[in-house]
Structure 1
Amino acid sequence: MQLNVTLFTRTLAAAALTVGLTATAFAQGMFSPAIKVNDDVITHYELEQRIQFLTLLRAPGDPVELARKALIDERLRMQAVRETDIEVTDEQIKAGIEEFAQRTQLSADDFIRALGQGGVQLETLRDFVRTGLAWREFSGRTFLEQARPSRMDIDRAMAKDTESNGVSVLLSEVIIPITPETLEDAEALAQEIASIRTYEGFAAAARQYSASDTRDVGGRLNWLPLNNLPPPLRPVILALKPGEVSAPIPLPNAIAVFQMRGIQEIVGPAPRYASIDYAMYYIAGGRSPEALAAAQALKARVDRCDDLYGIAKGQSHEVLERVTQAPGAIPRDVALELAHLDDGEVSTSLTRNNGQTLVFLMMCGRTALPNEGVSRDDIANRLTQERVAQFAEAFIEKKRNEARIVDQ
């Protein structure tokens, strides 16, 4: 339910953009060329569809520029693929769509339906997946052998993994809840907060606008290991200098803005986790005073996640979720809250069901990923994947520099 609502929110946010783009596409000839990449054409319709697709997914950045670059790169990739015997079957595309949908925690059918409601056609998704699968096969065939690490490479990587220090960051946060009705105002507010340049100003904004449990202390978080944060956010946070504020970061049902207050190296190996165990108990009423009061009363009654089973007894099984996931698989908003929770601690910052349900989020425990448990094969596979991706990106960059790319 959570991500259906999120996609619906995104759909509403993109509606005005869709109308304008669609009118432009028809005025210019919907299937007329927008960009030529060597002998291949990208039509206005394809460009519009990709913009809408990225808008619905709330990809960070300008969706117009992102769509243009993505479609150009995909044309270059498929030009390389056409020189091989690589073919992608309908069965592979179907499996690829299911894999992509899983990242949004929707079934393939629900994901396709949500995209359709936002104006994105099924064939657009199929083309996107087809290109990705073909390029994955091409990259493996072309770069795999040269990407394989040597014994010395693996030795160095294992030593680095074992001995490397990590980074700890001191952040302040503002978490702005959103609903379809408040999305536009929330985005404008987030942009305004992102322009703040003082610690005092950011703390005041957190006290006034944040839905996080940290709002009463000006949004200030304690020191936390960078590895606790969701992987996609780590480079965003590391790029900040003390006093700087991040651009707004989209989350399910919320927008986050962070201010860097400090950064330091962790003495000893950086903590890494194989999985995180957490529980979510759902309270009707969203962020109403009654729901928040119920959450505070519940907080006083439970000391560990197992206590929630007694609370949920006799209620619908949907009222309580106990989840164990790898860090990279946890929804971003949940992962951000878990990042600063210790075992048995609770957050009541999140909502679901279009803001109508309050999430009582409890950290149950983290399972460490000790360095001695990482095999040489694990290290070799990781290095190989990283190098294949690097070789593939360098290949496309060269093709892009050599290509004839003309805006029509």
Structure 2
Amino acid sequence: MTKSFPVLLASLLAVSSVSAPLQVLAQEAQPLDRIAAVVDEDVILQSELQRAIANIKAQYAGREAQLPPDDVLSRQVLERLVLVKLQVARAQGSGIRVSDQELTQAMNAIAQQNGSTLDVLRQRLAGDGIDFNDFRASVRDEITVQRLRQSFAQSRISVSEGEVDAALKQQADAGNQFHLAHILVALPDGATAEQIATGQKKADGVKALLDKGELDFNAAAVRYSDSPNALEGGDLGWRTLDEIPAAFAQTMQQMKPGEVVGPIRGPSGFQLLKLVEVRDASAAAGTHTVTEYHGRHILVRVDDAQSDAAAKAKIDTLRARIAGGADFQQVAKESSEDTNSKGQGGDLGWFPADAFGPAFGQQVAGIQDGGVSQPFRTDAGWHIVQRVGTRQTDVGSDNQRAQIRETIGRRKLEDEYNRFLQELRGEAYVSFRSGDRAENTATPPQS
């Protein structure tokens, strides 16, 4: 049994595509023939736009006041769809493909994250008027964009041992970490004096609204920020002092949680930065221990040769045999369909809870040593798991360095990929359609 990326992917896709009540999506996703935008040689239909807007509104249910006016929200969401189209086209031009088998695995994972099977999800979508093929296409696009990011990271992002050493020293020096959020008023490359003045005026206006208390920071980010994380309230997560732009770093140490600085001119435009909270870096680093489990499992696969119902019936029978006194290891050797562990009686060795995906981790964590779970579903099929033992393990300096390297790489990727998206957007032909009017633009519009 191996780690499966669709399980991890499903959590993201469930938020972006399925977490909204399906009835809400159906009400707002009636197919329309009008074109919302032309993106190079592709188009975005009005129905695609309305579905995406419905997703955002469903995520903000009960917090609708934080969303911008409908026309501004529509433009923000349309820009996101434009970027998706451009990234998919670039990925395909680079030879990145998602096979039908991989797509089906991802779809199964999404269904599982929503507490159902793929057949049930298909029926729910059809019952609510959502085309299953359109849904599959959107999932394929999500996976394609993820792979483009991965390819980008592999070719352009590197983290030196010196950078890791510096981060470890900073952690050892027990400095503070800062949880930040930002609002970006973007400027195009080579901005004219008029564009700079307009950007400055907008940034000053947003800061004035915040100072007067007419809008909280998260709502202002949703309404006015040009950053890709605008609809997430501009959240930047935790940063150490050396990961904060020099223009803000010294000021940040004098600020109290809740305060906002800026606007300050940076490479991408004017920024407002909020200090959300502060914590001690050494305390945040923790003891670097994790809980590991020793477990065995039995897998009955769901695939073209075996339906979900047949697999479920088989695993129920095996679980009943074990409950009746049959030896778990012997049953695994005879009947498990995981070729990697079958010969060892289903033994998986020691592993952290998240090693095989969240569903597996929840099951093994929810039973006692020696206990056997009830049958449960993953993207691979139906399982039962026996927990043999638990232990606390020091992840050690190697794992600590790996974690820090990953954090630095993720931050670098965020910055570099955002610049790449700006270049991609700036080079594209995009024509927004509004009624009988068309607006051509080669750069993202300013709100």
State TM-score, norm by structure 1: 0.44
TM value normalised by structure 2 = 0.41
Give the greater-gyration-radius structure (CA).
2
